[in-house]
C-alpha cells in the first residue's frame, strides 16, 4: 500500500528492510536481522532523484522530530538531519543514479556503534550518540582526481595517518556526545543558520557550533548496519556488521521550517 510522506521524503530500502506507518505522521524504519556479509538500510530522504545542486535545503532551516530506537546500541549507524550525500551511498540500494563523490557537509544527530571511528580530530568523540556538523569545500572535483592515486597508500598506516591529518585541515568538523537513553522518546531539533548551528534535546540547548555545512543539503532519516573507521592509528576499516535481531527507529512529529 502506498504511503504519503511529508517534505518530499521517499523510502530507500534494501531487501527485507521496511518503512511502516505506525500512526498519523509516525513511521518505523526497520532493518532485518542478518550477518555481516550484506548491507541493510531503511531510509527516508528527499534527494534520491536529484543532483546535488538541486538538493532542497539552504540555511536558515529549523528541523525537529521525536524519536526512539529499538536498543541503546544498534550495530551500524542511525540518525537524522541534513547532509549532501557525499559518497552517493544510495547506489548500494540500486535506486539511484551515479553521483560523483564529494567531501561531507552535514548537520545531524548521528549514532555510530563500535567499531565506527568517525572523527578526523583526536579531541572529538568518534562513536556513540552524537550531535555533529561537517563543513567541506563544495567544489573539489580536481582535488579528488589528484588525490585518487593516494588512496592506495591508505593500506599503509604511516601514510594513512598523514592523509588523515591533511583531511582534517580540509574537512572541518565539530561534535559532542549526547548522554540520553535512546530507547525512550525524545525531541531532537537542529537550527541551521548561516553562521552557526544549534542543537536542542527535549527543548534544552545541547550543542552550538560555528562549523556550518555548505548548502544545499538533503533531508535524511536512516538506520543501517555499516561501519567506517579512520582512527589515529591509521588502520582504516570499512564494512558491514551483523545484527542478531531486527533493529528499528521510530519517528514522529517531524517538522522542517525555513
Buried b (16+ CB within 10 A) or exposed e, 178-215: beeebeeebebbbbbeeeebbbbbeeeebbebebbbbb
**Peptide bond connecting 60 to the previous residue in cis, omega within 30 degrees of 0:** yes
Q: Which value, in Å, is the radius of gyration of the alpha carbons in the chain?
A: 17
Q: How many helices (H) and strands (E) does the chain have?
A: 2, 16
What's the confidence (pLDDT) of residue 217? 97
Burial of 154: CB neighbours in 10 Å, binned 0-12, 13-18, 19+: middle
What's the confidence (pLDDT) of residue 146? 45
Residue 232 to residue 235: CA distance in whole angstroms: 8
Pseudo-torsion of CA 116, 119, 125, 131, nearest 10°? -90
CATH class of 6-257: mainly beta
Widest CA span of the chain, in angstroms? 53
Contact 241, 225 (CB under 8 A): yes
**Position 96 pLDDT exceeds 90:** no
Domain ranges of the chain: 6-257
What's the confidence (pLDDT) of residue 99? 74
**Position 191 pLDDT exceeds 70:** yes
What's the confidence (pLDDT) of residue 237? 87
**Position 208 pLDDT exceeds 90:** yes
**Position 250 pLDDT exceeds 60:** yes
What's the confidence (pLDDT) of residue 104? 94
Average pLDDT over the chain, rounded to an integer? 90
**Three-state DSSP class for residue 254:** strand
Residue 137 to residue 143: CA distance in whole angstroms: 10
| Residues 205-231, mean pLDDT to the nearest whole number | 97
| Region for residue 249 given its phi and psi (left: phi exceeds 0; alpha: psi -120 to 50; beta: otherwise) | beta
Amino acid at each position: 500500500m502506498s504511503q504519503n510522506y511529508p517534505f518530499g521524503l521517499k523510502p530507500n530500502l534494501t531487501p527485507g528492510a521496511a518503512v511502516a506507518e505506525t500512526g498519523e505522521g509516525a513511521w518505523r524504519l526497520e532493518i532485518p536481522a542478518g550477518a555481516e556479509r550484506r548491507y541493510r538500510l531503511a531510509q527516508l530522504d528527499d534527494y534520491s532523484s536529484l543532483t546535488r545542486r538541486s538538493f532542497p535545503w539552504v540555511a536558515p532551516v529549523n528541523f525537529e522530530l521525536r524519536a526512539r530506537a529499538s536498543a541503546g546500541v544498534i550495530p551500524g549507524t542511525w540518525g537524522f538531519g541534513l547532509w549532501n550525500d557525499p559518497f552517493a551511498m544510495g547506489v548500494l540500494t540500486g535506486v539511484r543514479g551515479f553521483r560523483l563523490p564529494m567531501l561531507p557537509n552535514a548537520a545531524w544527530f548521528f549514532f555510530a556503534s563500535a567499531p565506527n571511528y568517525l572523527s578526523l580530530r583526536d579531541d572529538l568523540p568518534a562513536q556513540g550518540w552524537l550531535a555533529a556538523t561537517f563543513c567541506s569545500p563544495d567544489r573539489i572535483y580536481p582535488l579528488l582526481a589528484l588525490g585518487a592515486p593516494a588512496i592506495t597508500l591508505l593500506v599503509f598506516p604511516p601514510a594513512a595517518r598523514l592523509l588523515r591529518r591533511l583531511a582534517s585541515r580540509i574537512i572541518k568538523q565539530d561534535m559532542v556526545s549526547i548522554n540520553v537513553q535512546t530507547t525512550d522518546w525524545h525531541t531532537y531539533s537542529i537550527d541551521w543558520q548561516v553562521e552557526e548551528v544549534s542543537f536542542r534535546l527535549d527543548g534544552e540547548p545541547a550543542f552550538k557550533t560555528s562549523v556550518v555545512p555548505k548548502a544545499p543539503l538533503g533531508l535524511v532519516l536512516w538506520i543501517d548496519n555499516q561501519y567506517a573507521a579512520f582512527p589515529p592509528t591509521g588502520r582504516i576499516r570499512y564494512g558491514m556488521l551483523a545484527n542478531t535481531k531486527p533493529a528499528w527507529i521510530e519517528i514522529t512529529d517531524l517538522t522542517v521550517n525555513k
